[in-house]
Each structure stands twice: as C-alpha cells, then as structure tokens.
Structure 1
Amino acid sequence: MKKKDTTPRPVGLIPRAGALAARAGLDWFLLALISMIVLAYLWPEGGIDREPLSLGDVAGYGVSVIFFFYGLRLSPEKLKAGLSNWKLHMVVQLSTFILFPLLILPLHSLFKGTPQETLWLGVFYLAALPSTVSSSVVMVSIAGGNIPGAIFNASISSLMGIFITPLWMGLFLTSSSGDFDMWGVMGKLMVQVLLPVVLGILLHRYWGELAERNKGRLRVFDQIIILLIVYTSFCESFARKMFSGFSITDILILGVAMVGLFFLVYSLIFGITKLFGFNRENQITAIFCGSKKSLVHGTVMSKVLFPEATVVGIILLPIMMYHALQLLIASIIAQSEARKAAN
C-alpha cells in the first residue's frame, strides 16, 4: 500500500508565493539588501555619523570575524581530497579569474570618459572577484554534482581572490588614481582577510565541529555585516549625490547586462566542459562554481580597494544585482538538473 504523503503544503496565494520565492532563492537577505539601499536614500546620516557609534567601523571589524569563522569551518582534509581533479580546478579558476575579466575588459573603451565609466568599473570589479562558497556548494548539491570538487574550488577561489582581484583592479585604479598602493592594499587584505582565515584553519581541529553545528547562525552574522557595509557605502554615495548622473534606464540596462553576462559565462563553461569530456557531476560543478561571484568578498574588498567612500555604492551595485540574479537563475537550473537526475 502506498504511504500517504503527509507533508504540509502552503494554503492560500501568499504562502504559495512565499514558498515559490524561497525555492527560487529569493530569501529575506535579498529583500534586506534592497531595504538597505532604500534606507540609505532616506536616511544617509545614519551611515556617515561617527557618534555615538560608527557603523562603518563595526562592519570593518565584523569582516575579520566573518573570515575567521570561514577558516574555522574549512576542513584541511576536504581540501586535500579534492586536489587530484586538476582539469575541473583549471576550468573553474580560469573561468573565475580570466574568462570573466576578459569578457568585460574590451568594453572599457565604450565607457571611458562618460558618466557610466564608474558603473563599468563596478562590472569589471564584479568580473575580478572570486567565486562564492556556500551558495556554490548548495547549488552543486541540489543539482547532483561533484560536492568535494565544489568545496575545494570555492574555497581555493576565495583565497586566490585576495591576491588576484587587486591585481586586476590595479590596472585601472592606478591609471585613475596615481596614489594607488598595490602592496598596501594586499597587505590590508592579508591582515583583514587572510590572517583570520589562516587562524581559523589552525583552530579547526578544536572548534571546527562547533562552527559547523552553528553554521546557520554564522551565516546570519555574515549577512548582517554585509548589510551594514552596503548601507554605509550607499549612505556615502547618496549623501554626495553620486547617483545623480544615472537614470532609471541605466540601472535597467545594467540589470539586463548582468543576466546576459551570467548566461554567456554559463554557456562558455558548458562548451568547455563538453570539449574536455567532463562527466555530468564535474560539468555541474564547473558551471555552478565558475559562473558565481562572491558578494562577501565584493563588499569586504571594496572598503580597501576604494578608499574614496563616495563611489563604493556605485561600485557595489553590479555585484549586488548579479548576486540576486545568480541565486535566482542558478536555483532554477539546479532544480531542473535535480529533476533530470531523478528521471
């Protein structure tokens, strides 16, 4: 006799819409990001004032805590287990740090000297960022891909980005600002990001299991710090009217461009994996890890790479849009792949 399905189902239009949004990756965090931008527009003083407490300083300290806990959950054994699959690693890392920037780089001549050049710089910054960790692994898991390979590549990408992202950005920040100190930037990132990660890895054997058990709470902490960085960054931009030169049309075109960028990279990686003869599991891992970009690293590095706080809000806009879109599109694709595997 077939067992009756007793799984509770949402009743009514609103719960069903909420369940559908959750499956598509539209969680509270994406809505909170939009709310932070609106709040920054309505109340920019809250992110600028240093009395009684500077939210920018709180966010800065929170960044180091984020990466300490990230290192604490990073298992050296899992990293070692994924070392042998070099073709997969090569495709993911070259897609993340070479393919993305090379797709955006030729467009610079179209925007150079125009008000939209800062937006282009934000898109190039997005292209130079490392891959995500948590969402990449989750999507690979849902779609039935190579999970150890996803963990290895997402983790290594995060560490490599500390060095590679500033190198790419130095090409344009040096030309636009003669006082850009490449080694100074890397030094700050090593102290603020790499050092906490290394410390967390060293303490993994003692507290790693505890951090893994509380990963849900740690994720909420990560998101709160990102929201603080987004709020304070946009406060600076709105207070100094940095968005006055951009129209709604510019923002809509940027959104369409981010969708196009995702599908372009997705298609190119799919073709490369076919050429290399990847099996289904490795193909899924390469596509999801290679097409993702990290909002965490984007917000963190922006505080170091762009000392002129007024432009940070504009610089972060492309990665915020891409982050929302990659979660939505990748969730739909991952669910589709899961259904194919089940049939």
Structure 2
Amino acid sequence: MRRPAFLPDNFVLMLLATVALASLLPVQGTSAQVVKWLTNAAVAGLFFLHGAKLSREAVVAGLLHWRLHLTVFSATFVLFPILGLALRPLFEPLIGPTLYLGVLFICALPSTVQSSIAFTSIAKGNVPAAMCSASTSNIAGIALTPLLIAAMASTSSASSGAAGVISWQSAAGIVGLLLLPFVAGQIAQRWIGGWVARHRGMLKWFDQGSILLVVYSALSEATVEGLYHQVSLGTLGLLVLISALLLFVVMGVLVLFSRRTGFSRADEVAIVFCGSKKTLASGVPMAQILFAGQAVGLIVLPIMVFHQLQLMVCASLAKRYARRAEAAEAQAAAGTATPAAPAARP
C-alpha cells in the first residue's frame, strides 16, 4: 500500500522517535559510555563496508574531483559565514548576543563526516567524493573555524594553543574512526566485495542505524545538561527559524549551482549533503576550548538545534533523491529491455 504524500517516510519517523526518546529517557552514566562505544563501532563498521563495496577506480575518481570539493569548501567556509553576518542585524536583538554567537559558530564549523556520507549513500550519490570532501572539510576546520569565529565575533578566544589541541584530537578521531576502517575495507574488497555488493540492504541499515545512534547519544547528553531549561520556547522557535533559513538557503544555492554548472545527479547529491551540513561531534569539543569561561551551554545550543533540523531535512531529501534514482534506473532498464517497435507498413 502506497504511503500518503503528507506523511514522512519511515526513517524520518524513526528520527522523530529517537529525538523523543532522548528527550524523555536520556542515557547517562555508564550506559551513556556504552551507547557511545556502540555508536563508534557502528560508524567504523559503516566505513569498513563502504570501503569493501567501492572499487579502487571509484575512490580515485572521488579524490580527484576538485570542482566538487571546491564547491563544498566554498559553501562551508564562505557562503555560511556571509549568511550568518547578513542575518545578524535582524536576529541578534531578538535572541541576544550570546546565542547569536552560537549561530556564528554554526557558520564557522566544518561539515559533518559520517552523516554526510551516510545520507549521500542513501540518496545513491557519489560516495567516494563525499567521503573525501567531508573529511577534508573537517580537517580544514581545525584551523579555519577558530579564525572565522574570531573574525566574525571580534573575539580573541581562538588562541593558537587551543587550535593546536583541537588539531590532534580531531585528526586522530577522523583517522582512527573513519579512515582506517575504510582502508581496511578496501584491502578486504578482493575477498568480500562481491558479498557486500549482493547485500546492499545491510549497508542501508548501517547507514540509518548509525545516524540514529549519533542522534540519541548527542541529544541525551544535551538533555542531561539541561538543554530544555536554559531558554524559553519562543527563543527555541527563533533558533529553529534561523537554522531553517541557513539550511534552506544554502541547499537551494547548491542545487541551483550544481545544475547550472553541469554536475551529474550523483555529484549534486554529494555537494548538497556535504556543503549544507555542520558538525556537532567536532563542534562541541571546539566550543569548550574556544569559549572557555563563557556560557558554553548557550553557545552550543544553536548547533544542537541546527544539527537536529539538518538530520530531519536530509533524511527526507535523501529518500526523495533515492526514489528518483530508482525510477530513472527502472526507466532505463525498461527502455533497454523493450524491443524496438516494428516499422509501419506502407
């Protein structure tokens, strides 16, 4: 039976249920450490399977796709900051300077890695290019985020010492949790690549399951720290509005730019998901260093709101992209299988 058009798909419903569960029954203490370990294991397993699935040729092509990487980099570190500064006169008086500093912090952050690649995979996009672009963005953010937030907020909190600490932690996390499992999967491809390709459904469940675990873990931690007691519902509504403006403007610009400049559908998917998303996993540790001595809880609240919104929107968008790709594949297969019509008799 076909789902009514006004209802969200199953994955969006699962995300909503995860948000509700983390808000009402947040995991904490020893259980939180177990969930965090499971989340890391799921992410590492996901990248291992992607490494085992992708051919060496596809990986090399993704690494060399400089036009795509330049587009994502420009959206992340140029377009977002411009939008943040442009919206400042309108929204800073409404939510206050501390919360708007958090909005500027969103604009200075690099892209996500795991969820960008997972959504690109769900949407049948260019996964190798997304992996390279998102990882490069995250590493570049180690240096660029402190510089951007210092320039936008006119603060001296982004010290060179803090940048150095972030550098080692972030680089080690990317290498150990993402890059090494992917390389291991590439090495194992000759033995298990065919099996992984025949069980694509397993990869889909890894994609979606890892995102749900990340959401539950991150939102549980925020709930335990008093997320819902720091600001009013009206202020939260304004933060949702600001996040929606940032997200939809950037997504719209990226879609139009991708289509006007001749990128393929698979490249467009990677550009949209890598260029419009911001990392919560790296953002919170960065904020604790960059804004030491300030109201860090309020400063990171906007990225928490933006993070949840981007996951909801991207989940729905990824499903739409996937349905279009499947319809195009089915149409192409039907056209190939249908014999040419006989010529009309004179």
TM-score surpassing 0.5? yes
Structure 2 residue identity aligned to 1:169: T
Question: Are 1:123 and 1:315, in contact at CA under 8 Å, matched by a contact in 2?
Answer: no
Structure 2 residue identity aligned to 1:182: I
User: Alpha carbon RMSD of aligned pairs, Å?
Assistant: 4.3
1:247 Cα offset (Å): 2.8
| More moved, 212-221 vs 327-336 | 327-336
1:148-168 per-residue CA deviation (whole Å, 9 max, x = no partner) reads xx3443232133134123334
Structure 2 residue identity aligned to 1:256: L
Aligned match of 2:117: 133
Relative distance call for 1:198 and 1:33 in structure 2 (3 A) is: same
1:278-324 per-residue CA deviation (whole Å, 9 max, x = no partner) reads 34xx2645543322249999465457656799787763331221232
CA distance in 1, matches of 2:216, 2:303: 13
Aligned match of 1:212: 197
Structure 2 residue identity aligned to 1:77: E
* TM-score relative to the length of structure 1: 0.69
Structure 1 residue identity aligned to 2:18: M
Question: Are 1:73 and 1:211, in contact at CA under 8 Å, matched by a contact in 2?
Answer: yes
CA distance in 2, matches of 1:50, 1:16: 40
1:5-43 per-residue CA deviation (whole Å, 9 max, x = no partner) reads xxxxx3xxxx542x664xxxx333322222222222222
CA distance in 2, matches of 1:61, 1:337: 30
Instruction: Check if 1:322 corresponds to 2:310.
Output: yes
CA distance in 1, matches of 2:19, 2:46: 22
Instruction: Check if 1:57 corresponds to 2:37.
Output: yes
Aligned match of 2:240: 255
Report the identity percentage: 22
CA distance in 2, matches of 1:304, 1:53: 17
Aligned match of 1:121: 105
1:226 Cα offset (Å): 3.0
Q: Which runs of 4+ in 1 moved over 6 A?
A: 294-297, 306-313, 333-340
Instruction: Check if 1:74 corresponds to 2:86.
Output: no
* TM-score relative to the length of structure 2: 0.68
Aligned match of 1:292: 273
Which of 274, 278, 281 is equivalent to 2:261? 278
Instruction: Check if 1:36 corresponds to 2:18.
Output: yes
Instruction: Check if 1:235 corresponds to 2:220.
Output: yes
- Structure 2: which 5+ runs fail to align? 151-155, 290-295, 332-346
Structure 2 residue identity aligned to 1:37: V
Structure 2 residue identity aligned to 1:320: Q
| More moved, 292-301 vs 239-248 | 292-301
Instruction: Count how many residue pairs are aligned between Structure 1 and Structure 2.
Output: 309
Which of 187, 212, 217 is equivalent to 2:172? 187
Relative distance call for 1:216 and 1:151 in structure 2 (3 A) is: same
